[in-house]
Structure 1
Amino acid sequence: MLLGHDDGFIRDKNMKVTVAFNHFGPNCNQRMPRVRHGFAHVANNLYQGWSQYAIGGSMSPSIKSHANLFIAPKSGNKEVTWRLGSHESPWKFYSVGDVFENGASFKQTGIGGAKLPYNNQQRFQVADARSVRSLTSSSGVLGCTKTSRC
């Protein structure tokens, strides 16, 4: 899930995206999501292993990881986050209410937090991370075939 046109597309600084109620894994590699510029609110997702990273960014995005469940792979990279580019830029990666299992870790950066840039009609109540397994129990790949409709 790559959010943002390309590193040079400055208008994506106005992008606001919510990624919620997904089950990623097992055996996913990266980009759950990767954000270029802009803001992403990543909430109530289940991450069940990753190879390179779970949440990443380039071009100094703001990312608020909110009440997700991260279950690190048994071996390999246990760090959730990844950043491409200068670490001197105003990166804002924040974890609020996340649960980390099997050694998973989240490197927070920035000052002042990644505040939600949404108005009252755009906001939603985030569930406790302990509820993520049940919230995402029916999420995943559609069971489509060439002969069936989705």
Structure 2
Amino acid sequence: MTAQRLYVHVERTLRGLAGQAEGFGQQAIGGLHGDVYHVTTLNDDGPGSLRDGCRKPDPLWIVFDISGTINLLSGLRVSSYKTIDGRGQRIKLTGKGLLLRECEHVIVCNLAIEAGRGHDVDAIQIKPNSKHIWIDRCSLSYFEDGLIDISRGSTDITISRCYFSNHNKTMLIGARSCDIIDRSIRVTVHHCFFDGTRQRHPRVRFGKVHLYNNYTRNWGIYAVCASVESQIVSQSNIYEAGDKKLVFMHLIEQAPDKDVGTCGSVKSEGDLFLNDAKFHTTNAAHDQSVFEVQEYYESCSIEPATPDLVEFLKQSTGWQQIELPPTRTSIDSLEMENTAA
């Protein structure tokens, strides 16, 4: 399957996306087995609001009947078994971000999240102990802290087709060298466009991370950072340097249960380095000591890193003007029954 046909076969029904993530987040089903919740107001809270739907304990497939900006006055906590489906509308979240804390089976699709204010305010914060998460086709920019933060034992997560821009600390996977619980982290990042963001595409501690078919250009310090014990597999990505040329940075940190500090490992396969981008490693032999992707999953839509892929990612990442499939159809109901079986 090529990127041009990524998930097209499942987008004719509302819940067809459930369980279609590639990579480590492939089991995420979101609100597949719940009712459809309609967001009817742009208010921060109250009946018909996004916050009201996200806090409900039951599984829900959340859709929007209106377009516009929701100014979040506090972080928006998302409970387990929720799909936030922004297809069919133009929804922008500002002020604060999404909090995925101790939750599982969450899908977030086709939102714009920007202009977050405050210390430790991320666009999407995934911690602690959250799992089976899929973030797809979101546009993220202008936050005072990070855009996506995955830490404190959260795992089995996929970030796909997202557009990152106008930001410094883009994606952090494993926040502190003392958090050895983050040895359990597993994240896939694919078909994303990092457009001139300064650093952390991503920065990784401890976790296993698979990067493929992403386009990263004009970074300000480095493209990808491998720190303490991390294992990064970089396959068929495009790294186009601006003034800064270093692609892979290795940073030594010490885990509290180890006697010496270590950096992480990166294995690059089929990556395309443009404009004098420099593949750099402090220990090339050690960089082969990474996990085998096939031990965790086999099916993913990796294609060669080419100029055609660059043009595709420029057009197809982030929020998209696409229709919301019908909220209730016989096909949709049958699909739920087949998935449940």
TM-score normalised per structure 1: 0.80
Q: What's the counterpart of residue 67 of structure 1?
A: 236
Matched, 1:29 2:212: no
Instruction: Specify the alignment match of 2:184 in structure 1.
Output: 14
Once the two structures are superposed, residues 35-73 of structure 1 have per-residue CA deviations (whole angstroms, 9 ceiling, x without a partner) of 110111111001111010110132121111110011110
Deviation, 1:84, is 2.1
**Residue correspondence of structure 1 range 130-149 to structure 2 within 5 A:** 130=306, 131-136=308-313, 137-140=315-318, 142=319
State the shift of 1:89 in Å. 2.9
Residue in 2 that maps onto 1:49? 218
- Root mean square deviation, CA, Å: 2.4
Q: Measured at CA, do residues 52 and 116 of structure 1 come closer, stay the same or move farther in structure 2, by a change above 3 Å? A: same
Q: Is the 8 A contact 1:93 1:107 kept in 2?
A: no
Counterpart CA distance in 1 for 2:188 and 2:223 is: 15
Aligned equivalent of 1:106 = 279
- Higher share in helix: 2
2:178 alignment partner, SS class: coil
Structure 1: 5+ residue stretches without partners: 144-150
Deviation at 1:102, TM superposition (A): 0.5
Superposed displacement of residue 121, structure 1: 4.6
Q: Distance in 2 between matches of 1:6 and 1:122?
A: 31
Q: Look up the SS of the partner of 2:309 in the other structure.
A: helix
Contact 2:228/2:263, CA 8 A, preserved across alignment = no
Larger Rg: 2
Which secondary structure state, in structure 1, belongs to the residue aligned with residue 234 of structure 2?
Answer: strand
Determine which structure has greater relative contact order: mean sequence separation of CA pairs < 8 Å that are 6+ residues apart, divided by chain length. 1
Structure 1 range deviating more: 4-13 or 38-47? 4-13
Checking the alignment, whether the CA contact within 8 Å between 1:16 and 1:117 is kept in structure 2 is: no
Give runs of aligned pairs for residues 69-88 of structure 1, distance below 5 A.
69-73=238-242, 75=243, 77-85=244-252
User: Counterpart of 2:180 in structure 1: which amino acid?
Assistant: I
Q: Do the aligned partners of residues 112 and 53 (structure 1) sit closer, same or farther apart at CA in structure 2, a change above 3 Å counting?
A: closer
- Which residue number in structure 1 is paired with residue 161 of structure 2? none
Q: Secondary structure of the residue that 2:288 maps to in structure 1?
A: coil
Unaligned runs of 5+ in 2: 1-170, 254-259, 321-341
Q: Aligned pair 1:126/2:302, yes or no?
A: yes
In structure 1, give the amino acid aligned to 2:234.
S
Give the match's secondary structure for 1:63. Answer: strand
Task: Decide whether the 8 Å contact of 1:65 with 1:94 is kept in 2.
Answer: yes
Q: Which letter does structure 1 place at the counterpart of 2:316? A: S
CA distance in 1, matches of 2:215, 2:288: 26
Q: 2:226–2:265: 8 Å Cα contact kept in structure 1?
A: no
- Hey, what's the Cα distance between the residues in 1 that align with 2:211 and 2:270? 12
